[in-house]
Amino acid sequence: MIRLGPLILRNVLRNRRRTVLTLASTAVSLALLALLTALYQGFFFSEPDSPSEARRLICRHRVSLTQPLPASHLQRIKAVPGVDEVSAWSWFQGVYKEPKDFFARFAVDSDVIFDIRKDWQIPADQLRDFKRQRTACAIGEKIARDYGIKVGDRVVIVGDIYPVTLELTTVGIFTHPVNAECLVFHREYLSELLPAGSSQRDSVGTYMILASTPQEVPRISRAVDAMFENSPYPTRTESEKEFGRSFLAFLGNIKLFLAAICGAVTFTILLVSANTVAMAVRERTREMAILRTLGYTPSEILQLVVGESVVISVVGGLAGLGIGTLLAKALQAGAGAFGFTAIKWQAAVIVLGMAALIGLLAALAPAMIASRKNVVESLRFTG
Amino acid sequence: MGVPITYNVRNLIERKGTTLMTAVGIGLTVAVLVTALALTAGLKSVFAGSGDPRQVLVLRKGVNAELTSTVSNDSYQIIRRLPGIAVAASGEPMVSPEGLTVVNLPSVDSPEGMNVTVRGLLPIGLSMRTLTIEQGKTFEPGMRQVIVGNSVARRYPDARIGKHVRFGRGSWEVVGVFRVGDSAANSEIWVDLNQLRGDFEQEGGSSSLLVRTEGDEAAARLKKAISDDQRLGSGVIGEKEYYAGMTSSGAPLEALGFFVAAVMSVGSAFAATNTMYAAVVRRAGEIGTLRALGFGRWTILRSFMLESICLALIGGVLGVLIALPVNGLTTGVGSFVTFSEVAFKFRVGPDAVLWGLLFAVVIGALGGFLPAWSASKKGIVAAMRDL
């Protein structure tokens, strides 16, 4: 095989136009495969984005996220061994200026929320103001940038789930890892605005829990759910990652869709590569017969053809990863949604492996035929 | 005079293997596009089949979803006495207070659970829909019973007849399966509003009011009357309009499909170029002969372009055939307006087929241009010498 290396390389470079076209075709398709694999990985196998995320859990009503939990759950959850901190984490929704000006808004326990979301970085003086002022809010830096909100600015949010209007003052702007864009404000302020006797006053949307270590997370999840099992407000407690993943169901049967598309893409590349090899082998019928007369064995002819195909595929795979990385950057800048980050090494390995496999499979049939051809007949072949 | 198209078709048949491999590649690309279009068409038809043009929905002012809306009992009492509202056979005004909540149940597609809308209604609400009970019976007022839409019955194993669904203050027995045309209602669970109120301490209030008007003019007047009355704090939207706004739920999947089809089309076009270049090289002698016979450069260019487009069209037809089996398949997507799932069937309609074929033609034209150009540039003598 090593001895055949130079000859394989020459063959690759011989019909440059064809090689370039095949490369371009496989590279684009493999770039797509890389992106889809990365998407799949991001959806279903992503690691926590920060050490504190691995320690966090979300507790919601078992029936659905739209059902509130009583505020009294907080103290009981906090008493569960292994729980460091608990905060309310109530989805407020509402409208800021226009309905299209949308970002997440949560009512939280202001004293502890920044201890739980350790991945949020906020200047110490801003944090102190946030804890102190009843109508204070803190916002993610991207929201601040997108809507031109500065520290000291008023933010008015008209409620829909909650029939109140929040008049907040921005006291802090925090930075954070991906997908943590939101506004947080005091839960007590929301309760005060609600009319006396409203059932929403003493309820909380979900709770955010910080476990003392990531290892405690599964145990706490079971302990909390067992504690409220027979209460009128049973809970479902899961890690923050699992909680995020539950929203994937909104996209439909995404696993099946991605698998079907990946299958279609892979098969297309296989066809393109097989076509190229078939064309090359056909053109070189005579030449291969001459190689046989020079003493090359059928197995060496086979290796020549397969080698050429695999080289083109793998180079296509490398180029595809390059294109895929660029596309991923563009997608991230454009949408940045759905926890999609970048093409990680696992996806790269899968794509290169697939490329090599495709090269091998595509060449197999034409290479077998070429290596077994009758020498004399092939010499007579005129194309 | 042009080179007869049979010449191109015969050439494609002559190189069966290459033609087929290239065509199937284009076909898979077209299939992805057609499937994405079928998804959107299916979802659109569900929402287009939802709602009655004579009916309007009353929500809390500034709220655009039933789930987050509330309408007080006082407002209900005022609104049901407004003029312009159709009257049922019983003499009752056709105003249906409805309460909404959401339950999370495991579905066939997502065993971890997906949200389903639960709608509480009174008998008047049932009478305002073209309801058919497909199995079992309807719920009895005062009983903890539910009926489920046929999509829910199919997609949620825990919501079939005889099973119990848990929400509110306990469990509810599933006693029937209903269908309302091909509407989004088939993705809902329906219960007696008074029972639901008891569980959620709503004391007479509701999420929304569905109102049947006497006609367009009456609807416009009613809309103004309700919006202008400060006591009510309510807004009005046409029921049709409300559902039409939800079609965007399928946007992420559709975008994914379009993106994939677009990228795949680039790869397929390169593959077509490759195949056509091989054809041009192999037929250099023929091209020379054609030129010597008096066919001009433009004719040669057109002939090879046509051949490439024919090749791609074979792919287009294959692609439509590949995509055809998804027609009628049921799937579901979540809507962030209802915060629950709506089920729909893929619809491979004439539109999707035409777009798919057109897409194939574009791929063929783009992929065939360079080879056709190089064929038309060949000098007669040089081309003949290649024989």
Residues of B in contact with A99 (CB under 8 A): 64
| A174 assigned to some structural domain | yes
Looking at the structure, do residues A118 and A194 belong to the same domain, yes or no? yes
| A240 assigned to some structural domain | no
B130 CA to chain A: closest CA distance, Å?
Answer: 28
Looking at the structure, do residues A170 and A221 belong to the same domain, yes or no? yes
Residue B32 contacts A where some CB pair is shorter than 8 Å = yes
Query: ipTM value of the model?
Result: 0.87
Residues of A in contact with B168 (CB under 8 A): 63
Looking at the structure, do residues A354 and A258 belong to the same domain, yes or no? yes
Looking at the structure, do residues A212 and A91 belong to the same domain, yes or no? yes
- The pLDDT value given to residue A178: 65
Residue with tokens 């290596």: A371
User: Smallest Cβ distance to A160: which of B24, B68, B336?
Assistant: B68
Looking at the structure, do residues A359 and A256 belong to the same domain, yes or no? yes
Distance set, CA A333 to CA A203, B207, B220 (Å):
38, 39, 44
- The pLDDT value given to residue B385: 73
CA distance A272 to A187: 60
User: What token pair was written down for B268?
Assistant: 């397929």
| Inter-chain CB proximity A17 and B277 less than 8 Å | yes
Four-point Cα dihedral B111, B117, B123, B124, nearest 10 = -150
| Inter-chain CB proximity A278 and B21 less than 8 Å | yes
Q: Which domain holds residue A117?
A: 63-233
Residue type, A168: L
Residues of A in contact with B268 (CB under 8 A): 25, 268
Buried b / exposed e across A223-258, counting CB within 10 Å, b at 16+?
Answer: bbbebbeeeeebbbbbbbbebbbbebbbbbbbeebb
**What distance lies between CA B349 and its chain's CA centroid?**
11
Looking at the structure, do residues A274 and A347 belong to the same domain, yes or no? yes
| A178 assigned to some structural domain | yes
Looking at the structure, do residues A114 and A16 belong to the same domain, yes or no? no
Burial of A349 (0-12, 13-18, 19+ CB in 10 A): exposed
Looking at the structure, do residues A278 and A202 belong to the same domain, yes or no? no
Question: Mind listing the pLDDT tens digit for each residue in B172-225?
Answer: 999 999 999 999 999 999 999 999 988 876 667 899 999 999 999 999 999 999
Nearest to B337 by CA among B265, B270, B263, B242: B242
| Inter-chain CB proximity A66 and B67 less than 8 Å | yes
Instruction: Choose one of A233, A262, A289: the last residue of a domain.
Output: A233
Residue B113 contacts A where some CB pair is shorter than 8 Å = yes
Which residue of B lies nearest to A22 if distances are taken between CA atoms?
B271
Looking at the structure, do residues A201 and A344 belong to the same domain, yes or no? no
Four-point Cα dihedral A136, A139, A141, A144, nearest 10 = -80
Residues of A in contact with B18 (CB under 8 A): 275, 278-279
Can you say whether the dihedral through the CA atoms of B5, B11, B13, B18 is positive or negative?
Answer: negative
Size of interface A-B (CB pairs under 8 A): 165
Four-point Cα dihedral B122, B125, B129, B131, nearest 10 = 0
User: Smallest Cβ distance to B104: which of A63, A338, A383?
Assistant: A63
Which residue of B lies nearest to A366 if distances are taken between CA atoms?
B17
| A218 assigned to some structural domain | yes
Which residue of A lies nearest to B30 if distances are taken between CA atoms?
A264
CA distance B37 to B40: 5
Nearest to A252 by CA among B254, B102, B352: B254
- The pLDDT value given to residue A79: 96
A128 CA to chain B: closest CA distance, Å?
Answer: 34
- Counting as low any pLDDT under 50, the low residues of chain A are 336
| Inter-chain CB proximity B275 and A249 less than 8 Å | no
Looking at the structure, do residues A178 and A68 belong to the same domain, yes or no? yes
Residues of B in contact with A279 (CB under 8 A): 18, 274-275, 278
Instruction: Choose one of A233, A267, A287: the last residue of a domain.
Output: A233
Whether residue A276 contacts residue A322, with contact meaning beta carbons closer than 8 Å, is answered with no
User: What token pair was written down for A132?
Assistant: 């102190």
Looking at the structure, do residues A68 and A212 belong to the same domain, yes or no? yes
User: Smallest Cβ distance to A32: which of B31, B264, B335?
Assistant: B264
Whether residue B358 contacts residue B33, with contact meaning beta carbons closer than 8 Å, is answered with no
* Chain B interface, best mutation among A14, A16, A21, by max B CB count within 10 A: A21
Interface of B with A in 82-111 (CB under 8 A): 101-104, 107, 109-110
B87 CA to chain A: closest CA distance, Å?
Answer: 31
Looking at the structure, do residues A86 and A210 belong to the same domain, yes or no? yes
Question: Residue B68, CB half-sphere, CA atoms under 13 Å: how many?
Answer: 22
Residues of B in contact with A252 (CB under 8 A): 109, 250, 253, 331-334
- The pLDDT value given to residue A378: 82
Residue with tokens 């290796």: A303
Residues of A in contact with B106 (CB under 8 A): none
CA distance A212 to B79: 55
Question: Mind listing the pLDDT tens digit for each residue in B231-271?
Answer: 898 999 999 999 988 888 888 888 888 999 999 999 999 99
Residue type, B242: Y
Burial of B83 (0-12, 13-18, 19+ CB in 10 A): exposed
Residues of B in contact with A245 (CB under 8 A): 112
**What is the total count of domains within chain A?**
2
- Counting as low any pLDDT under 50, the low residues of chain B are none
Residue type, B81: R
Which residue of B lies nearest to A275 if distances are taken between CA atoms?
B18
| Inter-chain CB proximity A278 and B112 less than 8 Å | no
Whether residue B102 contacts residue B118, with contact meaning beta carbons closer than 8 Å, is answered with yes
A93 CA to chain B: closest CA distance, Å?
Answer: 9
Residues of A in contact with B275 (CB under 8 A): 275, 279
User: What token pair was written down for A354?
Assistant: 């697939």
